[in-house]
Structure 1
Amino acid sequence: MTDIITEQATAAASGAAATERFRTRRHSGAADVDTRRVDTLATELITAVHDVVRRHKVTYAEYDALKAWLIQVGQDGEWPLFLDVWVEHVVEEVASENREGSKGTIEGPYYVPDAPRLPAEATLPMRDGEEGTSLLFQGRVTSVDGTPLPGAAVEIWHADNDGYYSQFAPGLPEWNLRGHVVADDQGNFKIHTMEPAPYQIPTDGSCGRLIAAAGWHAWRPAHLHLKVSAPGHQLITTQLYFQGGSHVEDDIAQAVKPELILAPTPVGDGSGNEVTYDFVLDKA
Structure 2
Amino acid sequence: MTTTTGTEQTQTGHTATAAASGNAATAAFAQKNRDGVDSSQERVDTLATELITAVHDVVRKHKVTYAEYDALKGWLIQVGQDGEWPLFLDVWIEHVVEEVANEDREGSKGTIEGPYYVPDAPELPAEATLPMRADERGTELLFQGQVTSVGGAPLSGARIEMWHADDDGLYSQYAPDLPKWNLRGAIIADDGGNFRIRTVQPAPYQIPTDGSCGRLIAAAGWHAWRPAHLHLKVSAPGHQPITTQLYFTGDAHIEDDIASAVKPELVLEPAPSAAGRGNEVMYDFVLGPA
- TM-score range relative to shorter protein: over 0.9
What's the CA shift for 1:254? 0.1
1:42 aligns with one of 29, 43, 48: 48
1:104-123 mapped onto 2 (5 Å cutoff): 104-123=110-129
**Count, aligned residues:** 281
1:247 and 2:256 matched: no
1:11 matched to 2:1? The reply is no
SS of alignment partner, residue 114 of structure 1: coil
What is the match of residue 33 of structure 2?
26
Q: What is the aligned-residue identity percentage?
A: 77
Verify the 8 A CA contact 1:222 1:246 in the aligned structure 2: no
Q: What is the letter of the counterpart of residue 215 of structure 2?
A: R
For 2:35 and 2:80, locate their aligned partners in 1 and report how far apart those are by CA, in whole Å: 16
Structure 2 counterparts to residues 1-284 of structure 1, below 5 A:
6=13, 8-27=15-34, 29-30=36-37, 32-284=38-290
C-alpha deviations, 1:227-277, integer Å up to 9, x for none? 000000111000000001120110000000000000010013421100000
Q: 1:26 to 1:240 in 2, by over 3 A?
A: same
Provide closer, same or farther for how the CA distance between residues 7 and 191 of structure 1 changes in structure 2, counting only shifts above 3 A: closer
Distance 1:126 1:27 in 2: 31
- Whether contact under 8 Å (2:149, 2:289) holds in the other structure is yes
Instruction: Give 1:100 deviation, angstroms.
Output: 1.6
Listed one character per residue, the Cα deviations across residues 191-216 of structure 1 (whole Å, up to 9, x for unaligned) are 00000000000000000000000000
Name the CA distance, whole Å, in 2 between partners of 1:26 and 1:61.
35
Q: Are the counterparts in 1 of residues 14 and 170 from structure 2 also a CA contact under 8 Å? A: no
What secondary structure sits across from 2:107 in the alignment?
coil
Structure 2 CA distance for partners of 1:148 and 1:7, relative to 1, 3 Å: closer
Which amino acid is the alignment partner of residue 92 of structure 1? E
Counterpart residue identity of residue 204, structure 2? P
Separation (CA, whole Å) in 1 of partners of 2:229 and 2:163? 9
**For each residue in 1:104-152, what CA deviation from the matched residue of structure 2 results, as whole angstroms up to 9, or x when unmatched?**
0000000000000000000000000211100000000001111110000
Shift of 1:8: 4.1
How many angstroms apart in 2 are the aligned matches of 1:54 and 1:16? 34
TM-score (norm 1): 0.97
Q: Output the amino acid matched with 1:13.
A: A
User: Contact 2:14 / 2:168 at 8 angstroms: preserved in 1?
Assistant: no
Q: Which amino acid aligns with 1:225?
A: H
Shift in alpha-carbon separation, 1:98–1:124, aligned structure 2, 3 A: same
Helix, strand or coil: the match of 2:217? Answer: helix
Normalised to the residue count of structure 2, the TM-score between the two structures is: 0.95
Structure 1 counterpart SS, 2:109? coil
RMSD: 1.3
